[in-house]
Amino acid sequence: MNSRKESTRTKRSNNGCLTCVQAKVKCPENRPRCQRCSRMGKECNWPGPRLSLRERRRGHGPLKNRESFKPRPIQPLTTTTPSPSDDGVPSPDLLLASSYSSPDFELSCPSAAVQPSLTSVPAPLSTRHIPSSCSVLFGPLEQDALYFYENVFATLSPKSFLWSSLAILLRYGYDHAMIMHLLLASCLGQMSQGRADEATRRATRSHFEAGTRLLIASLRAEKPDHCQSIMAFWLVQLTYASIWDRKASLAMDKLSISITQYVKKHHLLDLILDKDHLRGGSVRDSGGLCQSPSSAVRSVLARFLLFAAYEDLDAEFCDSGGYLSSLVLTGDEIAERVFVCSQSSQSQFFGATYPLEELMDDVERSTPLELHVYANVALGQLNRIRKRGCPTVEQLESLRSHLQAVKQRYLSIFHLAETPHTEGKGLMITTYNIIAHFNAVLICILNAMVPLSGDQDVAQELEAAKQGLLYCVWHSSLNGRGRPLMPRNQWPVFIAAIEADDVIHADWLLKKLGNNRYATLVRERVTYRRGTRIDGLQRRH
């Protein structure tokens, strides 16, 4: 007991001067200068008043008075919710201006039109934000989306990402917040496919809302940037495709009308095409559109207009859209001219820094890509024939003859696809994907002809096209290395899956599709066919 009292008396005090506390010795606590510091000739400093336990627990910073607190007034941001103007433009929730013929069109966000279960999203997307030159804040999800864009989505093209059209799109995104928001929304939408990730879906919605509102503001401008507008439209298409359902299908149909009206209003085809050629002149006689001072801008515009037309064509096959594809892919002449102008988009955009190897790659892949244009034109014509009613044998035979003539013209590409596979060759990857798409278009035409004509040659050609499609899909998948299919390569796999007679092939193709808009259709078709076979076997027994 005495030893405990003695240890208490000799205990060093915590209230001494800073010099004694640092030296871990007992301080006499004589103010303003203690005896020990006076004896040793040291400077004697004392700590300030100690905070109370309540103040220490509340954290750093000055103590706030709750009674004097006044909340900031809630006001809409001018950048995201522009005030209504007197030019007849609808509310910011509408994408298009009143000059278009569809004033009821509403480009609703994924929560309102496609994802009704999503709740409202706060403004910040994460707690760790990195500012960018386009004023878009990059958190962990945004960084993951950019990684997905550069390493997964970039496989849409076999070109090196640094010199591809997607790199051009990303450069536009770094300078323009509208493109960056919609780019992140499309990538996050594809990343959330088949995953119950609420944070990713909220981020998708937030970026989609911000991007579409900026798109509204750009459409209101007196002279909008056509490259940015077409890029933004294409990214909106990709976002709807990633969250595809009935409401997204309706929104895609209205979006197709909107893009078509935008192209007509601003005469974008006249900016791309050579007017002298459209009046009957030859390509060589005319000066050529791509020789003008703004040829780089026009080439980029033509490239992304083709992308949007291809995406609209895929949506038209799903009974949604088709207005833009009917305008751009209406015939071989116009589609070919748009394609020719788009061929030099990368080399003209990057200028002297564009490597010679990439330029040679563009020349090599130009022939398969030109074949791809003609196949898409034939698919668009087939879609429009189906819309008008039951196609006739004469109409289908005309499309079949057209594709046979195209195949004879590009027979070397088909021979190249039959050669042994060479991994890592961009030309081979492009060839397999385009021949697969060509065979898928031919299968759609022949499938409609078989019940009408009953010709044995048509049935044999159909089986050969199915084998060729499966062959090209198999070889193109060898280069995928387990990566998901990109939008432009999903449709041929969908046709191969619904036409596959072997169950193993159908399951493999369904697994390749993943969770996109075609997967549900394939599952319904495969389930129906298997159920029909089981019923037939039961009836036999």
pLDDT in tens, 308-322: 999 999 888 888 888
> Quick one: pLDDT at residue 374?
93
| pLDDT surpasses 60 at 239 | yes
Q: How far apart are CA 164 and CA 152, in angstroms?
A: 14
> Quick one: pLDDT at residue 55?
62
Question: Do 492 and 473 form a contact (C-beta atoms < 8 A)?
Answer: yes
> pTM for this structure?
0.70
CA atoms within a 13 Å half-sphere pointing along the CA-CB vector of 271: 21
Residue 482: pLDDT band (50, 70, 90) is low
Mean pLDDT score, 498-503:
83
Q: What is the pLDDT of residues 353-376, one digit of tens each?
A: 999 988 988 888 888 999 999 999
Give me the phi and psi of 484, to 5 degrees please. -70, 155
> Quick one: pLDDT at residue 483?
63
Residue 438: pLDDT band (50, 70, 90) is very high
Collect contacts of 291-299 with beta carbons under 8 A, ≥24 apart: 295/344, 295/348, 296/345, 296/348, 296/349, 296/351, 297/227, 298/271, 298/272, 298/341, 299/341, 299/342, 299/343, 299/344, 299/345, 299/348, 299/349
The mean-pLDDT minimum among 24-38, 369-383, 497-511, 526-540 falls in: 526-540
Percent of the chain with pLDDT over 70: 72
Q: How far apart are CA 25 and CA 20, in angstroms?
A: 5
| pLDDT surpasses 60 at 281 | no
Tokens of 492: 């041929």
The DSSP letter of residue 504 is: H
Alpha carbon separation from 504 to 120, 507, 508, 509, 511 (Å, rounded) = 43, 5, 6, 9, 11
> Quick one: pLDDT at residue 2?
53
Q: How far apart are CA 484 and CA 194, in angstroms?
A: 12
Q: What is the pLDDT of residues 507-534, one digit of tens each?
A: 888 888 777 777 777 776 655 454 444 3
> Quick one: pLDDT at residue 371?
92
Q: How far apart are CA 302 and CA 345, in angstroms?
A: 8
CATH annotation of 2-49: 4.10.240.10
Residue 105: pLDDT band (50, 70, 90) is very low
The DSSP letter of residue 454 is: -
Give me the phi and psi of 361, to 5 degrees please. -65, -40
Mean pLDDT score, 381-396:
87
| pLDDT surpasses 80 at 479 | no
Between the two ends of the chain, the Cα-to-Cα distance in Å is: 99
| pLDDT surpasses 90 at 485 | no
Alpha carbon separation from 170 to 25, 235, 363, 495 (Å, rounded) = 65, 12, 24, 32
Q: Look up tokens 């042994």; give the residue.
A: 420
In sequence order, the 6+-apart residues with CB closer than 8 A to the CB of 475 are 417, 421, 428, 432
Higher pLDDT, 43 or 286: 43
Peptide bond into 140 cis (omega under 30): no
Q: How far apart are CA 12 and CA 7, in angstroms?
A: 10
Higher pLDDT, 524 or 78: 524
> Quick one: pLDDT at residue 61?
53
CB atoms within 10 A of CB 483: 12
Domain ranges of the chain: 2-49, 88-354
> Quick one: pLDDT at residue 191?
84
Torsion from C-alpha of 107, 212, 216, 322, nearest 10 degrees = -50
Enumerate the β-bridge partners of residue 138.
130
Q: How far apart are CA 320 and CA 237, in angstroms?
A: 12
Kind and range of the H or E run holding 20: helix 18-23
The mean-pLDDT minimum among 46-60, 85-99, 495-509 falls in: 85-99
| pLDDT surpasses 50 at 125 | no
The mean-pLDDT minimum among 165-169, 228-232, 242-246, 327-331 falls in: 242-246
Tokens of 21: 């506390």
Q: What is the pLDDT of residues 407-427, one digit of tens each?
A: 999 999 998 888 776 555 778
> Quick one: pLDDT at residue 428?
84
Orientation angle between helical segments 226-242 and 165-175, nearest 10 degrees: 110
> Quick one: pLDDT at residue 378?
92
Q: At CA 454, angle to CA 451 and CA 460, rounded to 5? A: 100
Q: Which residues of 392-424 are buried (b: 16+ CB within 10 A; e: fewer)?
A: eeebbbebbebbeebbeebeebbebbeeeeeee
In sequence order, the 6+-apart residues with CB closer than 8 A to the CB of 406 are 371, 374, 375, 378
Higher pLDDT, 206 or 101: 206
Mean pLDDT score, 486-507:
83
